[in-house]
Amino acid sequence: MRKFLLASISLLTVVTLLAACGPKPTEAPTEAPAELSVEDCPKPEVFCVGLVTDVGKIDDKSFNQSTWEGVKKAEAELGALVQYIETTDSKDYAKNIAQFADAGFDVIVTVGFALGEATQEAGRQYPDVKFIGVDQFQAPGSEVPNVVGLIFPEDQSGFLAGALAALMSESGKVGAVLGTDAVPPVWRFGEGYRAGAHYINPDIEVTTVYHNDVGFDKTFTDPEWGKTTALSMIDKGVDVIFGAGGKTGNGALLGCAERGVMAIGVDDDQYYTVPEAQKVLLTSAMKLLTPGTFELIKMAKEGNFPGGGNYVGAVGLAPYHEFEDKIPAEVKAKIEEIDQALKDGTLETGVPPAKPE
């Protein structure tokens, strides 16, 4: 019998800083305590956390990897047994989630907008399991008591990135290479970037390209397309490029590195995850996925899980690193001013929650 954890149904105060794998879950790269195994998960004293990716990879150096770091933090600080499954076919969402639920896992983290429906269905099927749906908005009237959506105001992070790009651009042309705009968070990043650039300079030329010409299995895992698209923009005079879309976006960063053009990363501080781009990386438009994921896992373990609603995580720009001394003081001050205005609500991005029909 899976152990029962008391579900706490509450609305979270908004924080505004912001597979088709084998039949068994894939072992995590980190080691759980030697005395524990999956067979121990149904025991009340054993805390188990599983993560299911969308069709992206756990080592994407961006979205999935940052979320996985939050799960691994639960292993290190909460003594959790942790594992993950990489989905390779969207038809396997339910099956992959069920592998963890049937094994007695306490918390299951599902990563990505596309898993939203499968996560809610699993929540209804397994009411004693806590589910964290990353980038999965729980709409009013459709909430499931043991499911919480970990969501972020990507438009604000993108807005800051766009403002910085416009302030640093010399050509008056900036660009963004993104995954599919069918995923609302990606669209909000891209349109936030456009809005931020135009906030600084209404006449700036902003080119945003979404990788909509392929399916979900390819849109975030196509670094070659990302690089080629970035190089094409550079050939047309674009001198700052925002790469947002897993490995596809990483390809854009590498294209910038090849040509010595300024770049902006996404989700995590990509100065550390894409070191090949360090010399050209201005900053990264971050969603603080690691702390957001860990905090919700911790709340589940402590018995105050905020199921039945959404937890809004923090966003912001990463440190400037090698550009710290290259970015003028007045530019830094302007970005700080915009950041504060977004936080206190005196400035809005104008980007709606989802792409209009």
Clarify whether residues 196 and 248 are in a common domain: yes
Clarify whether residues 46 and 91 are in a common domain: yes
Range of the structural domain that residue 196 is part of: 154-287+318-344
Mean pLDDT of the chain: 90
Q: What is the number of domains present in the chain?
A: 2
Pairing mode of beta strands 173-178, 205-210: parallel
Look at residue 3 and tell me if it is in a domain: no
Residue 286 CA to residue 290 CA, distance in Å, equals: 11
pLDDT, tens digit (0-9, with 9 covering 90-100), for 234-289: 999 999 999 999 999 999 999 999 999 999 999 989 999 999 999 999 999 999 99
Look at residue 2 and tell me if it is in a domain: no
Look at residue 357 and tell me if it is in a domain: no
Clarify whether residues 305 and 224 are in a common domain: no
Clarify whether residues 21 and 122 are in a common domain: yes
pLDDT, tens digit (0-9, with 9 covering 90-100), for 281-336: 999 999 999 999 999 999 999 999 999 999 999 999 999 999 999 999 999 999 99
Residue 116 has pLDDT above 90, yes or no: yes
Confidence band of 26 (pLDDT split at 50, 70, 90): very low
Clarify whether residues 256 and 276 are in a common domain: yes
* Bridge partner residues of 243 (DSSP): 177
Number of other CB atoms surrounding residue 19 within 10 Å = 22
**Cβ atoms of 163 and 127 closer than 8 Å:** no
Clarify whether residues 148 and 166 are in a common domain: no
Clarify whether residues 199 and 253 are in a common domain: yes
Clarify whether residues 186 and 323 are in a common domain: yes
pLDDT, tens digit (0-9, with 9 covering 90-100), for 69-96: 999 999 999 999 999 999 988 899 999 9
CATH at residue 13: 3.40.50.2300
Clarify whether residues 276 and 310 are in a common domain: no
Look at residue 349 and tell me if it is in a domain: no
Clarify whether residues 84 and 103 are in a common domain: yes
Look at residue 333 and tell me if it is in a domain: yes
Look at residue 350 and tell me if it is in a domain: no
pLDDT, tens digit (0-9, with 9 covering 90-100), for 163-221: 999 999 999 999 999 999 999 999 999 999 999 999 999 999 999 999 999 988 899 99
Clarify whether residues 71 and 39 are in a common domain: yes
Comparing C-alpha atoms, which of 178, 174, 315 is closest to residue 243? 178
Look at residue 335 and tell me if it is in a domain: yes
Clarify whether residues 192 and 63 are in a common domain: no
Look at residue 352 and tell me if it is in a domain: no
